[in-house]
Amino acid sequence: MTKLLPRAKVRADLHRLLMRFGIDTRKKRLDRVVLEQVIFPELQRDTRMHSILFVGCAWYTLHYPWVFRDKDFRTMEIDPDAACFGADKHLVGSCESLGTLLSRGELDCVILNGVFGFGLNTPDGLNRTLQGIHHALRAGGLLIFGWNDLPAHAPFPPFSVEGWHCFEPYRFPPLKGESHASDLINRHSFHFFLNRPSSIGK
């Protein structure tokens, strides 16, 4: 893992500063707009969604802990150098180890966006991640999975692994569907699932 380059640090510091004044200079793709302007407000509004884990942190997500300041918002990132973009409650490590790092049912929601195909690249790794999320989410908890259906970021069909049996598709009210393709250029889509009770998922 590489340390943050000075240029990346300046960009991150600038973003952190400007966001305090409500100035957002990021160039956002449609999927990010949907994430931040449709999905996040629904999670903020929903009182059942209190403990939220966001996997994968970067400079452009560093203000998310502030967005969810009224929630128990946690982050996880495999790159130790990106911990500076995470929440106070931040886990350094791979989402493949979630099953051993968190207690059973302690989360209400997991956001796994842009991690599949960006490091989480093997069927075994995705399966372990899904099993860990199944363990850490309460029954009925929400998993939001976002991925890019591009050769460079879809090393295998993500829904081909058996770990998905622990989850059932969920019609996410604001998007009126179980999935949402938000950006035709980078072929990004979000998929929504509820965690099945453990005895059914196993």
Ligand X SMILES: C[S@@+](CC[C@H](N)C(=O)[O-])C[C@H]1O[C@@H](n2cnc3c(N)ncnc32)[C@H](O)[C@@H]1O
Residues within the interface to ligand X (CB under 6 A): 55-58, 61, 76-79, 82, 94-96, 113-115, 118-120
Q: Shortest approach of ligand X to residue 200 CB, angstroms?
A: 26
Q: Shortest approach of ligand X to residue 81 CB, angstroms?
A: 9
Q: Shortest approach of ligand X to residue 12 CB, angstroms?
A: 13
Instruction: Give the pair of three-digit tokens for residue 72.
Output: 């128990």
Nearer to ligand X, 57 or 166 (CB): 57
Nearer to ligand X, 7 or 199 (CB): 7
Q: Shortest approach of ligand X to residue 197 CB, angstroms?
A: 26
Instruction: Give the pair of three-digit tokens for residue 45.
Output: 């509004």
Amino acid at residue number 50: H
Helix, coil or strand: residue 36: helix
Nearer to ligand X, 76 or 166 (CB): 76
Q: Shortest approach of ligand X to residue 76 CB, angstroms?
A: 6
Q: Which residue has 């599949």 as its token pair? A: 116
Question: Taking CB positions, which residue lies at the least distance from ligand X?
Answer: 119
From the list 46, 70, 65, the residue with the least C-alpha distance to 54 is 65
Nearer to ligand X, 12 or 78 (CB): 78
Q: Any alpha helices (H) in the chain, and if so which ranges?
A: 6-20, 30-34, 40-45, 64-67, 98-101, 123-136, 198-201
Nearer to ligand X, 110 or 166 (CB): 110
Instruction: Give the pair of three-digit tokens for residue 71.
Output: 């929630």
Cα 136 from chain centre: 14
Contact status, residue 108 vs residue 29, Cβ threshold 8 Å = no
DSSP state of 85: G
